[in-house]
Amino acid sequence: MPRHRPELLDFFLTRRSRPAKTLVAPGPEEAELKLLLEAALRVPDHGKLEPWRLIVLQDAALNRLADLVRSLGPKAGLDAAKTEKQADAFARGVCVVAVVACPKASDKIPASEQRDSAAAACMSLLSTALATGWGANWLTGWAAHDRGFLTKGLDLAAGENLVGFIHIGTETTTPPERPRPDVAALTQWMDR
Ligand SMILES: Cc1cc2nc3c(=O)[nH]c(=O)nc-3n(C[C@H](O)[C@H](O)[C@H](O)COP(=O)(O)O)c2cc1C
């Protein structure tokens, strides 16, 4: 049925994230990661505004962010277990790419569409990493929505938002398939 490269359709029909907590070192080396990022940012972008940017988090940066969660979480009302779960996601991270939405002033392109393009960049990086044999997972969590964390930890400007932390590493287990949507029930075919 596919016109060419049926393995690509097979990848998308079976694509499955790998839970971040099951990923271990090594992650991609710098040269390979740069290629993954180049592929990932080939996303639809209405008006060519490039309303996104990436922050590659590795090594000491991940420990620093874990410590920041431990200091800010309780003040933000997170209980001890939730704080540690959020901190642990950074502490055990191998390579984490933060995808930041940076809306640009535009009379034509609504901010929501610009954010959509940033989400597309997340999905694109997730797929690129999985397709090239890495384990990968798109997470957000409390930290992604806490302005204090985003400012202190990642130096985000006031108008910027965190759309996803894309964890990339070596997979240790293949998770079982999860329930998938009933595509027929969710699809309306309209021909008039
Ligand atoms: C915007 C966004 C944020 C997410 N944040 C989390 C999260 O913080 N924790 C989590 O366990 N899953 C989170 N997920 C879900 C996982 O990325 C993913 O849905 C799950 O691992 C199964 O993915 P798969 O369909 O690629 O196999 C998030 C998904 C999206 C789209």
Q: Is the CB of 114 under 6 A from ligand 1?
A: no
For residue range 55-91, list pLDDT tens digits in order: 999 999 999 999 999 999 999 999 999 999 999 999 9
DSSP string, the chain: --SS-HHHHHHHHH-----GGGEES----HHHHHHHHHHHT----TTS---EEEEEEETHHHHHHHHHHHHHTGGGT--HHHHHHHHHHHHT-SEEEEEEE-----SSS-HHHHHHHHHHHHHHHHHHHHHTT-EEEEE--GGGG-HHHHHHHH---TT-EEEEEEEEEEES-PPPP-----HHHH------
Q: Is the CB of 174 under 6 A from ligand 1?
A: no
CA of residue 159 to ligand 1 center, whole Å = 24
CA of residue 132 to ligand 1 center, whole Å = 19
- Res 150: pLDDT: 98
pTM: 0.97
What's the mean pLDDT when you consider all of the chain?
A: 96
CA of residue 191 to ligand 1 center, whole Å = 34
Q: What percent of the chain has pLDDT above 70?
A: 99
For residue range 123-150, list pLDDT tens digits in order: 999 999 999 999 999 999 999 999 999 9
Q: Is the pLDDT of residue 3 over 80?
A: no
Q: What percent of the chain has pLDDT above 90?
A: 97
Span 22-172: which CATH code?
3.40.109.10
Per-residue pLDDT band for 4 (boundaries 50, 70, 90) equals confident
- Going by alpha carbons, the residue nearest to atom 21 of ligand 1 is 17
CA of residue 141 to ligand 1 center, whole Å = 10
- Res 17: pLDDT: 98
Q: Is the CB of 34 under 6 A from ligand 1?
A: no
Q: Is the CB of 17 under 6 A from ligand 1?
A: yes
- The residues spanned by each domain of the chain are 22-172
CA of residue 18 to ligand 1 center, whole Å = 10
